[in-house]
């Protein structure tokens, strides 16, 4: 399993905990440290793309190789999973567009599971849940994919195509990660407070343990679905 980190502050967090609990080996590719993007997806049983503060439209040296890697993974049917920036990478790689969102989201917010069979395969029996958000851009649903999550501020919160899932929202959060982002992103929260989708840090951290525990239950369902049938050897 290959996990791609685009910023030191946005590592695999609960996703790594999940994999370790199920004895699924994984390898971190810290692109933020200059690690090269691998070219052969067949070396891995799955690819997971984490978040990051940059845009997939930025001229960064690893963006184009990552887009090609995502396209090749889907072509070769290597299960691919995207969290926030990772979901945007997947969407752009598969023919979607990534643009500024109408409403910036920072904090906790309800998302609804789509009324379609694909969405139910990934999230049933859950019909809605409270996800974590930190984004100012959004993706369109790429050709051939199905919208599986949405909410009032951002219609496209997740899409699926076959064994591949790209999410705009975050399900990998831990208490520590939420607190670290609130500290590191204090200026952004302050500067964005006019947005109806942005919460102050005190509100974000209220009842944090219970919120994260509930989110982990959803994450377990998503990750269970995503890891069905994958090899444990790579």
153 lies in some domain: yes
Strands of 146-150's sheet in order across = 27-30, 2-5, 47-49, 80-83, 164-167, 158-161, 146-150, 98-113, 128-139
Q: Which ranges constitute the DSSP H helices of the chain?
A: 14-21, 63-75, 85-93, 117-123, 175-184, 186-191, 201-204, 208-227
Residue 161: which CATH number? 3.40.50.880
pLDDT of residue 232: 56
- Asked if residue 205 belongs to a domain, the reply is yes
Q: Which residue in the block uniquely carries the two structure tokens 């649903």?
A: 141
pLDDT single digits (tens) 108-146: 999 999 999 999 999 999 999 999 999 999 999 999 999
Does residue 234 belong to any structural domain of this protein? no
Mean local confidence (pLDDT), 2-24: 97
The pLDDT tens digits for 67-108 are 999 999 999 999 999 999 999 999 999 999 999 999 999 999
Domain assignment of residue 232, yes or no: no
Q: Is residue 66 part of a domain?
A: yes
Read off the pLDDT band of 231 (50, 70, 90): low
Give the pLDDT of residue 55. 97
pLDDT (average), residues 43-63: 96
Is the residue at 177 inside a domain? yes
Number of domains in the chain: 1
Q: What is the mean pLDDT of the chain?
A: 96
DSSP state letter for 42? G
Model confidence at 183: pLDDT above 90: yes
Q: Which domain does 221 fall in, by range?
A: 2-227
Q: Given a cut of 90, is residue 204 above it in pLDDT?
A: yes
Residues 167 and 83 sit within 8 Å (Cβ to Cβ): yes
- Over residues 212-221, the mean pLDDT reads 98
pLDDT of residue 230: 80
Cis peptide before 154 (omega within 30 of 0): no
pLDDT > 70: what percent of the chain? Answer: 98
- Say which residue the tokens 């399900």 belong to: 171
Band of residue 18 on the pLDDT scale cut at 50, 70, 90: very high
233 occurs within a structural domain: no
pLDDT attached to residue 7: 97
- The crossing angle, in degrees rounded to 10, of helices 14-21 and 208-227 is 50
Rounded-to-integer distance, Cα 27 and Cα 189, Å: 32
- Contact predicate 24/1, CB 8 Å: yes
- For residue 143, count other CB atoms closer than 10 A to its CB: 9
Torsion of CA 41, 12, 197, 209, to 10 degrees: 150
The per-residue pLDDT for range 142-180, each reduced to its tens digit, is: 999 999 999 999 999 999 999 999 999 999 999 999 999
């Amino acid at each position: 399993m290959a996990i791609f980190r685009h910023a030191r502050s946005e590592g695999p967090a609960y996703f790594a905990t999940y994999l370790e609990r199920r004895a699924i080996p994984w390898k971190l590719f810290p692109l933020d440290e200059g690690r090269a993007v691998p070219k052969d997806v067949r070396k891995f049983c799955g690819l997971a793309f984490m978040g990051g503060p940059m845009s997939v439209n930025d001229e960064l040296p690893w963006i184009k190789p990552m887009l090609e890697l995502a396209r090749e993974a889907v072509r070769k049917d290597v299960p691919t999973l995207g969290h926030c920036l990772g979901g945007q990478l997947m969407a752009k790689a598969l023919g979607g567009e990534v643009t500024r969102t109408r409403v910036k989201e920072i904090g906790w917010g309800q998302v609804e599971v789509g009324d379609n069979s694909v969405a139910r395969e990934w999230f049933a029996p859950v019909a809605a849940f409270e996800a974590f958000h930190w984004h100012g851009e959004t993706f369109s649903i790429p050709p051939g994919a199905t919208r599986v999550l949405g909410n009032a501020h951002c219609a496209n919160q997740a899409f699926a195509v076959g064994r591949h899932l790209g999410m705009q929202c975050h399900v990998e959060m831990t208490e520590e990660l939420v607190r670290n982002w609130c500290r590191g992103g204090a200026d952004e929260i302050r500067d964005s407070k006019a947005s109806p989708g942005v919460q102050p840090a005190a509100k974000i951290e209220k009842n944090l343990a219970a919120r994260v525990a509930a989110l982990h239950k959803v994450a377990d369902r998503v990750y269970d679905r995503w890891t069905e049938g994958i090899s444990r050897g790579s």
